[in-house]
Amino acid sequence: MTGTTSDEKPSGDLGRRLATRRAELGLSRPEAADRAGVAVSYLTHLEEHPGAAPGRGTLLTLAAALDTTVSDLTGGQADLPPGPEQASRTAEFTELDQEECRSLLGSHGVGRVAVPAPEGPVVVPVNYSVVDDTVVYRTASGTTPSSAAGQQVGFEVDRIDDAFGQGWSVLVRGPARTVTEPDEVRRLTDSAHSRPWAGGDRELWIRIEPRTITGRRITA
């Protein structure tokens, strides 16, 4: 079994970041502990006790085992935009095929919707899900994301790995509309990957029908 199981309850900033990075790599606690050369019980302690304070040597070992950096594990980069590190000297740029684009898009999370506006395009982040091969997100009436309805929009998701100078991005373009059918609204609410991080009453559903899907990857 990989990832974080239902009986594992990470807490504290370090614990959540460790568990999240494990999940990204598809590793169970035993697998991650084996990579790092630490006891499973110790990794469990780090993930489940907010006051856990491992030394820098342990953090370096964990970061190397999880293909990340100490700054990422400890939140040192939390308020910085991705990509401040130097580019790799051996970078390779490739176009993604449709299957890989859809697979990456379906991983869910936070994406950016680009909406036309009189003063120029506006780009805002939204929590999204993929349902029936379409991008759906929840917002509130009168907000920038809600103005996508009835327009041709762009929607982008990406992943940047500063530690290794690599990453990918997927771009969807197509028409957006408001979902109004009660049964469909109920189905989307039940299928949603997560609630909007912004909180509040955001019960307006927007669906983007992908007319084109393109992607690219940079590897080191």
Task: Indicate the pTM of the whole model.
Answer: 0.66
**pLDDT score, position 112:** 95
Q: Which of 14-18, 79-83, 144-148 has the highest mean pLDDT?
A: 144-148
How far apart are alpha carbons 21 and 162 in whole angstroms? Answer: 14
Tell me the CATH architecture of domain 12-74.
Orthogonal Bundle (1.10)
**pLDDT score, position 7:** 53
Is the predicted pLDDT of residue 10 greater than 60, yes or no?
no
Do the domains spanning 12-74 and 92-219 agree at the CATH topology level?
no
Question: What is the mean predicted confidence (pLDDT) over 138-147?
Answer: 93
**pLDDT score, position 162:** 65
Of residues 155 and 132, more confidently modeled: 155
Residue count of the chain, please give it: 220
4 membership: H or E segment, kind and range: none
pLDDT tens digits for range 163-214: 667 789 999 999 999 999 999 999 988 887 777 777 777 889 999 999 999 9
How far apart are alpha carbons 148 and 56 in whole angstroms? Answer: 47
Q: What angle do CA 200, 111, 122 make, to 5 degrees?
A: 80
Question: What is the mean predicted confidence (pLDDT) over 71-95?
Answer: 70
Is the predicted pLDDT of residue 11 greater than 90, yes or no?
no
Is the predicted pLDDT of residue 83 greater than 90, yes or no?
no
How far apart are alpha carbons 5 and 194 in whole angstroms? Answer: 18
Is the predicted pLDDT of residue 50 greater than 70, yes or no?
yes
To the nearest whole number, what is the mean pLDDT of the chain? 86
The domain spans of the chain are 12-74, 92-219
How far apart are alpha carbons 19 and 216 in whole angstroms? Answer: 27
Collapsing DSSP to helix, strand or coil, 198 comes out as coil
**73-77, 81-85, 104-108, 180-184: least confidently modelled range:** 81-85
Confidence of residue 1 (pLDDT cuts 50, 70, 90): very low
168 membership: H or E segment, kind and range: strand 166-179
Q: 92-219 falls under which CATH superfamily? A: Electron Transport, Fmn-binding Protein; Chain A (2.30.110.10)
Count the helices and strands in the chain (H runs, E runs): 7, 8
Reported for 21-30, long-range contacts at CB under 8 A and 24+ positions apart, including other chains, are 21/66, 21/68, 21/72, 21/73, 22/66, 25/66, 25/67, 26/2, 27/2, 27/3, 27/66, 28/1, 28/2, 28/3
CB of 35 within 8 A of CB of 66? yes
Concatenated DSSP letters of 84-115? -SPPPTT-EEEEPPHHHHHHHHTT-EEEEEEE
**24-38, 63-77, 121-135: least confidently modelled range:** 63-77
Give CA separation, 167 vs 49, 64, 71, 82, 90, in Å.
31, 18, 18, 10, 14
Residue 46's identity, in one-letter code, is L
Closest CA to 138 of 188, 180, 183, 172: 188
